[in-house]
Amino acid sequence: MARALALAEQAIGLSDPNPRVGCVIVDGRGQVLGQGHTQAAGQAHAEVMALRDAQARGHDVRGATVYVTLEPCAHHGRTPPCCDALTAAGAGRVVVALGDPNPLVAGQGLARLRAAGIAADVLPVEHPLAVDARELNIGFLSRMQRGRPFVRMKIAASLDGRTALSNGVSQWITGPDARRDGHAWRRRAGAVLTGIGTAREDDPRMDVREVETLLQPRRVLIDSRLEISPEAKLLVPPGRLLVYHALPEPGERGRVLADRGAELVSVAEPRGKVDLAAAIRDLGQRGVNELHIEAGYKLNGSLLRSGVVDELLIYLAPMLIGEGRGMVDLGALTALTQAPRYRIVDSRPLGGDLRLRLRPEVPA
Ligand SMILES: NC(=O)C1=CN([C@@H]2O[C@H](COP(=O)(O)OP(=O)(O)OC[C@H]3O[C@@H](n4cnc5c(N)ncnc54)[C@H](OP(=O)(O)O)[C@@H]3O)[C@@H](O)[C@H]2O)C=CC1
Ligand SMILES: Nc1c(N[C@@H]2O[C@H](COP(=O)(O)O)[C@@H](O)[C@H]2O)[nH]c(=O)[nH]c1=O
């Protein structure tokens, strides 16, 4: 299963919006007969890749044990059901790390296998490999179970929690190793989201450049009044720009942006700003599993207050900025009990910087 999980990781930056799944088929002596991982959406799933691999190597998989990191599918999507492919190949036993989180089909793959006389087991939920399989697909699970992406907020800050000087200059606070790591997290995401303040100040690209990828995440901008410049780098491919705004009619500015390839979606809340929770639900409907946020302190604060942030990814550079912009604008709290608290998931030095990954003590 550990090997199947390592294969599943190779589907990062490839299989979205489908889950990252790995599969290893072994004989009674533990010899690997075939292995594979999920391909691009619409192409073969991990089980089919492993069966094909076994066939290409000339191995007979009848009676073999199949380790797969997610319950084989039982439904016809863009490809036929994997549990039928395993049954037809004569698999003897199937072990899965994680049940299918899709409430519409959960358990059906295992049930179909068992009905065909194949022993099918799921690892206990607390098994370390089951935990890793869940983490790898945390975005897919979120979308299936909550109808929205898993939301990760990345912030690069000085030791005193500043993300920019008072004049808006912020490049660069962290060093190249931390920035490359940031791109590896962008690569995991189906979309990278920022705010109009950051677009105006930094003219960012928000793509994946520092690490290799086969897929570029969608770029998303929160821009209530459609103020983005038509010359902005966000409008330059790869990754078509999706702009959430709050105007009843996009008007001439909207037409110019649409001509530049942007897709505009109006989701207004009563104050005339973008309804952030609605935008995030919409991203879920568009198949975004993990949403990566790189915005300034204002939008970060609004997103945190709207309760949609599942993880903070904080890069701390050993420097002091003093006066400047903070990480999140939460308004003036009057009691420490109002301050959201986090638990540290992991911490890691990166070059001269430090990375902290944190999740809310009270989950979003
Ligand atoms: N170090 C780092 O990690 C980063 C630093 N930065 C720095 O941050 C600075 C920009 O910060 P900032 O101006 O806060 O930029 P943001 O990216 O946070 O964009 C701010 C805008 O977001 C919009 N916004 C905020 N809340 C809402 C809401 N509830 N609904 C809709 N829209 C909302 C507002 O636009 P509107 O008025 O249209 O509603 C607001 O003006 C720059 O100096 C940049 O360099 C930026 C990103 C990362
Ligand atoms: N300043 C700062 C960061 N800033 C973030 O990176 C964005 C630029 O992205 P791109 O144009 O794709 O390179 C910028 O707008 C902001 O969101 N990131 C970091 O890792 N470290 C840093 O010190």
Architecture of domain 1-135: 3-Layer(aba) Sandwich (3.40)
Which helix (H) or strand (E) segment holds residue 293: the answer is strand 290-293
The pLDDT of residue 206 is above 90: yes
pLDDT digits (tens, 9 = 90+) for 81-105: 999 999 999 999 999 999 999 888 8
The residue whose two tokens read 């990252």 is 20
Average the pLDDT over 313-331 and give the result: 98
Domain 148-360 part of CATH 3.40.430.10: yes
Distance 115 CA to ligand 2 centre (A): 53
Phi, psi angles (nearest 5°) of residue 344? -80, 120
Q: Is 42 annotated as a binding residue?
A: no
Closest CA to 315 of 146, 157, 208: 157
- 101 near 144, Cβ under 8 Å? yes
Q: Does the pLDDT value for residue 364 go beyond 80?
A: yes
Q: What is the model's pTM? A: 0.97
Tokens coding 256: 């110019």
The closest-lying atom of ligand 1 relative to the alpha carbon of residue 297 is 14
135 an active-site residue?
no
Determine the pLDDT at residue 152.
Answer: 98
**What residue ranges line ligand 1, CB within 6 angstroms?**
155-156, 163-164, 168, 170, 173, 194-198, 201-202, 222-225, 273-274, 276, 294-299, 302, 325
CATH 3.40.430.10: which residues of the chain? 148-360
Residue reference for tokens 């990566």: 292
Read off the pLDDT band of 4 (50, 70, 90): very high
Identify the pLDDT of residue 82: 93
**Start-end of CATH 3.40.140.10 domains in the chain:** 1-135
- Percent of the chain having pLDDT more than 70? 100
- Is residue 262 scored above 80 in pLDDT? yes
Catalytic residue among 47, 71, 290, 311: 47
Q: What is the three-class DSSP state of 268?
A: strand
